[in-house]
């Protein structure tokens, strides 16, 4: 069984997730730690739980989801894994983030890119890849079939959806991604998004104003 720990980091309140199972191996998804205090929070949790980080995953490569990539690499030797269609998004960050008054440590680039379908594994656990572009050009979500939850990034939120006004965003594509790729999951599937509170597939089918 996978345990989920959520942290909310950085100026735009991004959700960083640590997933771990009974083996002690863990995966860090979308590390958003912005400063030393936030980095310490993550390290303290991993040490106290005696976890071994074995994977660094990014749902997509907007700055708030990759702030901590360099820190994870420096501490645990993990390079990020994401879909290759996000690489130019990652490479663009250093050109615009300083203009926002934010500092950014350059993320390493992947040695392994993730496909649109397939799985990634850690410990005794498996996450299925679900391709859901629209908020960003090659956004991936990570689904645990055994535990029936989705790490959803910035695709589907509680009564909302990801913004589509950033480079590579496409509103029509995002709606199709949600309806065709996420709404086929069980209604009681828990959705853990990149911002805000968790929700379920069934609740969003009924109540999300963007998807009626």
Rounded to an integer, what distance in angstroms lies between the CA atom of residue 146 and that of residue 126? 8
Residue 85: give its domain's CATH number.
3.60.15.10
For residue 162, is pLDDT > 90?
yes
* pLDDT value for 112: 98
Rounded to an integer, what distance in angstroms lies between the CA atom of residue 132 and that of residue 152? 9
For residue 155, is pLDDT > 90?
yes
Distances (CA, A) of 119 to 5, 9, 113, 128, 150: 21, 27, 12, 4, 13
pLDDT band, residue 98 (cuts 50/70/90):
very high
pLDDT band, residue 120 (cuts 50/70/90):
very high
* pLDDT value for 19: 98
Structural element, H or E, at residue 38? helix 36-48
Tell me the residue range of the domain where 67 lies.
3-211
- CA dihedral (19, 125, 159, 133) in degrees, to 10, reads 100
* Average pLDDT taken over every residue of the chain: 98
* pLDDT value for 12: 96
* pLDDT value for 139: 98
Task: Fill in the DSSP letter of residue 111.
Answer: S
For residue 107, is pLDDT > 90?
yes
* pLDDT value for 44: 98
For residue 66, is pLDDT > 90?
yes
Task: Give how many domains the chain has, as a whole number.
Answer: 1
* pLDDT value for 167: 86
* pLDDT value for 11: 95
Mean pLDDT of 83-110: 96
pLDDT tens-digit series, residues 179-205: 999 999 999 999 999 999 999 999 999
Among residues of the chain, what percentage have pLDDT more than 70?
Answer: 100
| Cβ-proximal residues to 27 (8 Å cutoff; 6+ apart), any chain | 18, 19, 20, 53, 54, 55, 56, 57, 120, 122, 127
Mean pLDDT of 2-18: 98
Rounded to an integer, what distance in angstroms lies between the CA atom of residue 125 and that of residue 84? 24
């Amino acid at each position: 069984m996978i345990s989920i720990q959520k942290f909310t980091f950085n100026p735009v309140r991004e959700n960083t997730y640590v997933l771990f199972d009974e083996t002690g191996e863990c995966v860090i998804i979308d590390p958003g730690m912005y400063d030393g205090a936030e980095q310490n929070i993550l390290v303290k949790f991993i040490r106290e739980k005696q976890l071994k980080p074995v994977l660094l995953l990014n749902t997509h490569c907007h700055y708030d989801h990759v702030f901590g990539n360099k820190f994870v690499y420096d501490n645990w030797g993990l390079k990020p894994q994401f879909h290759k269609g996000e690489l130019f998004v990652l490479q663009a960050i250093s050109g615009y983030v300083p203009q926002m008054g934010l500092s950014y440590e350059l993320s390493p680039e992947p040695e392994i890119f993730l496909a649109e379908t397939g799985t990634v594994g850690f410990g005794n656990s498996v996450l299925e890849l679900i391709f859901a572009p629209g908020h960003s050009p090659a956004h991936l979500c990570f689904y645990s079939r055994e535990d029936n939850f989705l790490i959803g990034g910035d695709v589907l939120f509680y009564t909302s959806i990801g913004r589509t006004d950033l480079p590579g965003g496409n509103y029509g594509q995002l709606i199709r991604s949600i309806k065709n790729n996420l709404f086929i999951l069980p209604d009681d599937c828990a959705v853990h998004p990149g911002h805000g509170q968790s929700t379920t597939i069934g609740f969003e089918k009924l109540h999300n104003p963007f998807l009626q």
